[in-house]
Amino acid sequence: MNELKPIYTKKADCQDCYKCVRECPVKAIKIEDNSACIVDELCIHCGKCVLVCPSGAKKIRNDVAKVRQAIDMGRNVILSVAPSWRAEFVQLHSSQLISAIKKLGFSQVSETAIGAQMVSKGVADLIDSSDNKIFLSTACPTVVEMMYKYYPKFVAYFTPLVSPLAAHVKYLASISAPNTQFAFVGPCAAKKIEFDLFNENILAALTFENLHKWFEESNIDPYALDPDSSETFYPFDSSDGGLYPIDGGMISGIKGRLQKQNVEFMCFSGIKAIIAAMGDLDKFSPNRQIFIELLACGGGCVNGPGMRHKESTVLKRDNVYSNVVNTIDFDKPLYGINIGAEIQIKPIISGVYSEPMIRSALQRVGKSSLKDELNCGSCGYDSCRDFAVALLNGKAMENMCASYMRKLASKKANALIKAMPAGVVIADSAMRIIECNKHFASIFGSEIEMIFEATPGLEGAMLNKIVPFYKLFQKVLVTGEDLVDSEMDYNNHRLNISVFSIERNQVVGAVIQDIRVPHVRREQVVKRVEEVIKLNLETVQKIAYLLGENASETEIRLNNVLEAFKETAEVDNGVHTENI
């Protein structure tokens, strides 16, 4: 586990379900020792994996300790609060939030939205002074990383300005005492990257989730504090910059400051929407100027991964709109500060693989023709070919392919069933045989044995036409309860029968032994069943997890059968209760 990275995996909690692989827009996840680890160089810190991980194994680094330490050492620390606070602390008066944050030890609380207003002004000035036709801009570090790493051909369209957060910190530094330090709180995991790259005056970026926990640990309830008109944001309240956390908010601020007419504005939020929108932008030469705003989270930062408050985007937007003073305030002394940016993020060079290499990778997971390529997505990749490429570049492992694992498990199970020194049969709820071995067929006479020779496994044959004690199977199918160690005489055989539920009410199995045949020993059966369990446990559980089935129950039932056989093996020819 690398806790120093902004987003990381707690390996012990990973259930290798590949949900994060599926959701990761840039496939920055590598499977190592059956855990889904993030390759930080490939990651764009969108936090999608954190939101979808069912076991909480994906984490956003918590930097509260770093900030607390600075406060405890008596440092002057100002907190920059993202404008999405209005959607996170619903119906909380700004003075209540400021008072609560100051109780944690911060000297001042300021709105990142002030930096957003600086950026709006900077972008408007750029458009006014340029003949360029296309401008891309974003307040979102994830979009910046995504474009620089994966779509470098669009980088030339970006407005070369720092983010609202960086602009805000520059402004605060210009009006604060030397050695003042700054921290940020907001809905975003990617902001940590910005802070990691800044100078020593920048402490850390926290999430709203971190702030809630910090309040709780300190027994501070912002809602319980009295509104206090003397508590205001430092050095003043923001205005239209407060709209930045909703898509289109940046456009609103630029429009209000732009001199030119006839500029067309577009906004795309959500990574998939951005990728779809950008496709062939480089081939587009419009006859007018176009400005495009981009945000990685669908609907904007109000849906960021660090938000605790989960409500509909409509309500979040309403909370922002109805609490922002949407005026362009030109009087504030924000605009003399240089907010030009030089971004140094290198593009990712992807491996290029020849067709024969891809084909050979596909064969590693049993896909030798096009019809074998199911493109089911259970591995986390959109297609079998994408998965093959991930195998080649070392990000994926063969056992991520559910269809391959299922075939493998089925082959193993068939081999083991064949090798068992007792009759084994598996049937479905309609009493159709799914699988049986030769020992089973031989117990029921030469005719059944001949049919078995023609149709190995007797797949589809009706169990109730072959087995006189088929009611045992029906009983287990109905009740879901195992029937272990029933005994009966049949055709000069003394049969010991254990029927067990494999999939409750759906699939039933049985182990049948002729206990008069001397070479059939219970110890052998116990050993074989143990082998079945041992060899299949990992595979069965993995497949079942991928397919959402309950494998552990099946395993418990098999173990019950095994235990029963063990007990009777110890008694060896002891008296058994008839329960047919």
Q: Which residues bind ligand SF4 (CB under 6 A)?
A: 7, 9, 14-20, 23-24, 26, 28-29, 36, 38, 43-49, 53, 55, 57-58, 140, 142, 187-188, 190, 295-297, 300-301, 304
| E-state strands within 225-289 | 264-269
Q: Which is nearer to ligand SF4, 52 or 328 (CB)?
A: 52
What b/e string do you get for 481-499 counting C-beta neighbours within 10 Å, with b at 16 or more? ebbbbbbeeeeebebbbbb
Q: Which is nearer to ligand SF4, 136 or 188 (CB)?
A: 188
CB of 419 to ligand SF4, least distance (A): 34
Query: Helices 522-547 and 402-419: crossing angle, nearest 10°?
Result: 170
Specify whether the CB–CB gap between 161 and 123 falls below 8 A: yes
CB of 505 to ligand SF4, least distance (A): 29
Nearest to 493 by CA among 474, 468, 510: 468
Question: What is the maximum alpha-carbon separation in the chain?
Answer: 104
> What does 70-107 look like in DSSP terms, one character per residue?
HHHTT--EEEEEPTTHHHHSTT--HHHHHHHHHHTT-S
Q: Which is nearer to ligand SF4, 35 or 486 (CB)?
A: 35
CB of 165 to ligand SF4, least distance (A): 9
Q: Which is nearer to ligand SF4, 317 or 557 (CB)?
A: 317
CB of 520 to ligand SF4, least distance (A): 44
CB of 296 to ligand SF4, least distance (A): 4
Alpha helices, H only, 444-550: 446-454, 463-466, 470-479, 522-547
Q: Which is nearer to ligand SF4, 304 or 421 (CB)?
A: 304
CB of 380 to ligand SF4, least distance (A): 8
CB of 511 to ligand SF4, least distance (A): 35
Specify whether the CB–CB gap between 454 and 434 falls below 8 A: no
Cα dist from 534 to 369, 413, 530, 556, whole Å: 32, 11, 6, 12
CB of 268 to ligand SF4, least distance (A): 11
CB of 262 to ligand SF4, least distance (A): 28
Q: Which is nearer to ligand SF4, 11 or 332 (CB)?
A: 11
Position of minimal CB gap to ligand SF4:
304
Q: Which is nearer to ligand SF4, 256 or 304 (CB)?
A: 304
Q: Which is nearer to ligand SF4, 90 or 462 (CB)?
A: 90
CB of 303 to ligand SF4, least distance (A): 7
> What does 170-216 look like in DSSP terms, one character per residue?
HHHHHHS-TT-EEEEEES-STHHHHHHHS-TTEEEEEEHHHHHHHHH
Specify whether the CB–CB gap between 398 and 404 falls below 8 A: yes
Contacts of 57 (CB under 8 A, 6+ apart): 9, 10, 11, 12, 13, 14, 15, 35, 36
Q: Which is nearer to ligand SF4, 404 or 444 (CB)?
A: 404
> What does 58-69 look like in DSSP terms, one character per residue?
EEE---HHHHHH
Strand 507-514 with 493-503, pairing: antiparallel
Nearest to 396 by CA among 101, 7, 16: 16
Backbone φ, ψ for residue 205 (5° rounding): -105, 125
Q: Which is nearer to ligand SF4, 302 or 362 (CB)?
A: 302
